[in-house]
Amino acid sequence: MSRNRLTVVLSQAQGKHPIKRALEESIVAALIMESGLEVSVVPYLYDLGPDHTGRLFLESIRGDMVLLSWLFPRAAYWVLDRDGIKGQWGESQLKSPHADDDEEAGEPPPPKGIGALDVPGRHIYCLDLRDFNQHDPYVNEIRRIAQECQERHDKKHAEKATAHAPLVQLGLNLGNGASPGTAVPGLFLQPAGRRWYPVIDYSRCTNCMECIDFCLFGVYGVDGLERILVENQDNCKKGCPACSRVCPEQAIMFPDYKTPAIAGAPVGAIGNLKIDLTKLFGGAEKDALSQAVEERDRELVADGRHAVGASVGIPKRQDKSVNQPKDDLDNLIDALDSLEL
Ligand code: SF4
Ligand code: SF4
């Protein structure tokens, strides 16, 4: 059986944080000693523009890949997808020590999104560098992933050999057909300016178009199949996450935003409910829609335009909430009412 080479890409943190740099360096130093791995380093993934050599390198990888970054894995995976760097979701067994026990209490509901298009069979595993401050957990997990990828590769190879056996007996040379990553690994560390734009998680996005109705800055568009996309990402207003609050599916992420739910933290079975509970029990947090409207108005005024308040882009949702069956939060409120607290 041929050896499957696994590409490992470490995406650096923004800035020059010495502790983060030390962790990055110790991981790379440990990984380059491992056989069967191609190790490369690129700047902060979210900031890579289409012409950056790090982005071009990522685009050139064909085989299985591990991406280590300072982003939530869900955000990193969909940033890659947005950039056309696609693959099957590789399930990491490295669990964050910061994960809330509650989040693991229930299985997340099955994804009901429209899904990504043109996803090849290779796998992409995203690991979060904020989870551990030592290189060992990452190196051990990458060893495990390399083994998993090798087993998958061997299985595919064996199936292909079986399928081709009669033709080989006829003397036809089909080649092995395997041409995993031909990219040349290395360091791709030209500076990358900071960027700010929404990233869509298509495993959750239902194509409801609430975001395109809400955003008044021309960021969203639709493709030839009438699927929502982030069309003019640099039109987005830096630091503003307004549309992520409007999305009914938590499908819009701003990976650099301070609130984990918006930055791409896993959405668990009761994730949405937990966020709503903080409001329900008198938290200072404003209602998400009012907050989004306020944030959008602020950006409109900063652009020299008029504030529109709640008059544009959200009636559809309000109508729906009136006409649709009760959701989890409604049921919870009903249950609390019945307790007569
Ligand atoms: S609002 Fe959310 S679910 Fe609806 S189209 Fe936009 S990203 Fe998709
Ligand atoms: S954050 Fe604001 S400007 Fe950016 S895409 Fe969302 S609504 Fe549009």
Q: pLDDT, tens digit, for every residue of 27-56?
A: 999 999 899 999 999 999 999 999 999 999
Is the pLDDT at 19 greater than 60, yes or no? yes
Residue 149 has pLDDT above 70, yes or no: yes
Structure tokens at 272: 């949405």
- Characterize the bridge pairing of strands 88-90 and 123-128: parallel
Element (H, E) at 197: none
Q: What is the mean pLDDT of residues 96-114?
A: 67
Q: Please report how the helices 18-31 and 136-169 are oriented relative to each other, as an axis angle in degrees rounded to 10.
A: 40
Atom 8, ligand 1: residue with shortest CA distance: 205
Task: Record the pTM.
Answer: 0.83
In tens, the pLDDT along 238-250 reads 999 999 999 999 9
Architecture of the domain made up of 6-168: 3-Layer(aba) Sandwich (3.40)
Secondary structure of residue 55 in the 3-state scheme? helix
* Ligand 1 centre distance from Cα of residue 200 (Å): 8
Cα–Cα distance for residue pair 162/277, rounded to 1 Å: 56
Q: Is the pLDDT of residue 1 over 70?
A: no
109 has a pLDDT exceeding 80: no
d(CA 6, CA 152): 12
Nearest atom of ligand 1 to the alpha carbon of 210: 1
Nearest ligand, CA 214: 2
Give the residue from 179, 193, 159, 77 showing the smallest Cα distance to 125: 77
- Strand, coil or helix: what is 252? strand
For residue 5, what are its two tokens?
Answer: 């080479």
| Short-list 326, 310, 275, 266, CA closest to 109 | 266
What residues does each domain of the chain span?
A: 6-168, 207-248+270-339
Could you tell me if the CB of 222 is within 6 A of ligand 1? no
